[in-house]
């Protein structure tokens, strides 16, 4: 096994709330975490900031435009090391959105987008999403970058 190729990947998940204080979650398909609910997001590309990644990934996955970012959580995700040889650093960001309702733009990755009340979340959620929601509910915002 070539250890040079086994490097952590940075994943960015974006907490988006609508005017009813519901958060947007999508049901994952076709990848690790299949069947779990998570925020829109994805991998940091070389040379991108985490906020540029958040903006790009949300638009690519939902068609929504986001800005006014706040860093909420940073955590290692190690549960896929044994099954997929993947180690992630998950970054949870809150963002404001503009536009319409989310669309399914990547049907091979997301079954549906749905708005959830914070007190009525789905049972099966992606680990990084759970941590971000926990910190958000506790009012733990680490950085503003507006």
* Rounded mean pLDDT, 38-61: 95
The DSSP letter of residue 3 is G
* Rounded mean pLDDT, 22-51: 91
pLDDT digits (tens, 9 = 90+) for 119-144: 999 999 988 899 899 889 988 765 44
Phi and psi, residue 107, nearest 5°? -65, -15
Structure tokens at 146: 């507006």
pTM: 0.86
The domain defined by 3-145 carries CATH number 3.40.50.12780:
no
If you average pLDDT over every residue of the chain, what do you get?
87
Q: Is 87 exposed, middle or buried (0-12, 13-18, 19+ CB in 10 A)?
A: middle
* Rounded mean pLDDT, 42-57: 94
As a whole number of angstroms, the distance between CA 91 and CA 129 comes to 9
pLDDT digits (tens, 9 = 90+) for 83-110: 777 778 889 999 999 878 999 999 999 9
* Rounded mean pLDDT, 31-58: 91
DSSP 51-100: HHHHHHHHHHHH--EEEEEEEEEEEEE-TTHHHHS--EEEEEEEEEEESS
- Banded pLDDT at 5 (limits 50, 70, 90): low
pLDDT value of residue 24: 97
Residues above pLDDT 90, as percent of the chain: 61
């Amino acid at each position: 096994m070539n250890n040079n190729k086994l490097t952590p990947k940075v994943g960015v998940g974006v907490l988006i709330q609508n005017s009813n204080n519901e958060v947007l979650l999508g049901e994952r398909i076709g990848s690790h975490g299949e069947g779990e609910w998570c925020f829109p997001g994805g991998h940091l590309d070389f040379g991108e900031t985490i906020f540029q990644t958040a903006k790009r990934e949300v638009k690519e996955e939902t068609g929504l435009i986001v800005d006014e970012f706040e860093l909420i959580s940073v955590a290692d995700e190690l549960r896929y090391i044994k099954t997929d040889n993947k180690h992630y650093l998950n970054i949870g960001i809150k963002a404001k959105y503009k536009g319409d309702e989310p669309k399914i733009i990547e049907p091979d990755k997301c079954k549906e987008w749905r708005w959830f009340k914070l007190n009525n979340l789905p049972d099966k959620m992606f680990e990084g999403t759970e941590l971000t929601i926990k910190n958000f509910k506790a009012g733990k915002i680490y950085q503003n970058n507006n």
